A = this chain, B = another copy of it.
Amino acid sequence: MAEREVDRSVSQTVKAQLALRDQILSGALRPGERISELQAVETTGASRTPVRMALVRLEEEGLLEAIPSGGFMVKAFSERDISDSIELRGTLEGLAARFAAERGVSARELEPLKECLAAIDELLRQVPISVDAFSAYVTLNARFHALLTELSRSPPLIRQIDRASALPFASPSGFVMAQSALPEAQQILIIGQEHHRVVIDAIENREGARAEAIMREHARLAVRNLRLALRNRTHLDLLPALALIKTATD
């Protein structure tokens, strides 16, 4: 019934896209196997036309792969693919931070970012960090990264960063929930927040190289999280899109 509230005022294409994305990320659709349009029509409730539109969009999003003979299949990702995707995002965010630093940002524009920083500080003050706090962190962290990206004031760059962040495991907050189960969790958040603080400082002082470097390092922290979460197999289920990850044993 929660599903039905989007029935009106949202296009069938979007509905199908959301439904199919859920099925892919949850593992209901297995990597490597062809997606049946007819089956998708049944599960999404939309007709074939919007379903096919959704499939094309999901391909561009990176979750699907076109089959030469026609149709699409769910893509599978190696651990290396995922860490590369994260580093890719970090590189782009680094470029955004450098642009912001080099081109200059007014105090007024920096204000929302600083507020976001303060809100995360507030969150991290409580020890130990609750699950709710982790969840709130995810939201604030996503906001921080979005604000930072916009500071570049470069539409092409913003667009590319959005596309690079579309994959759930490449998004800035992708592994935060997964790391919540780790013993190192609190330290990692504190270090990440320090990166946030440094990038703002660098941008304020127009230190482009420093701003870029810290955002790259920030992404490396996410790569470290990924490794930790994959090794600590007790909480593997918190990993986003776990079903898409191809392990060496497969």
A residues with a Cβ closer than 8 A to B are: 49, 52-53, 56-57, 60, 62, 80-81, 84-85, 87-88, 91-92, 95, 99, 154-157, 159-160, 163-164, 170
Contact = CB atoms under 8 A, between A and B. Distances in A.
A223 to B, nearest CB: 13
A164 B156 CA distance: 9
A91 B88 contact: no
A91 B94 CA distance: 10
B84 A157 contact: yes
15 contacts: A49-B49, A52-B53, A53-B56, A62-B159, A80-B154, A81-B155, A84-B99, A84-B154, A88-B157, A88-B160, A91-B91, A156-B170, A160-B163, A160-B164, A163-B163
A81 B14 CA distance: 29
Nearest to A212: B91
Contacts of A62: 156, 159
Contacts of A80: 154
| Interface residue SS majority, chain A | helix
Given A60-B60, A163-B163, A88 B53 contact: no
A99 B81 CA distance: 13
A49 B62 CA distance: 23
10 cross-chain pairs, A with B, having the tightest CB-CB distances, nearest first = A60-B60, A84-B154, A85-B156, A84-B156, A91-B95, A56-B56, A81-B156, A84-B157, A88-B157, A88-B160
Contacts of A56: 53, 56-57
A109 to B, nearest CB: 17
A85 B158 CA distance: 11
A80 B158 CA distance: 13
A91 B96 CA distance: 11
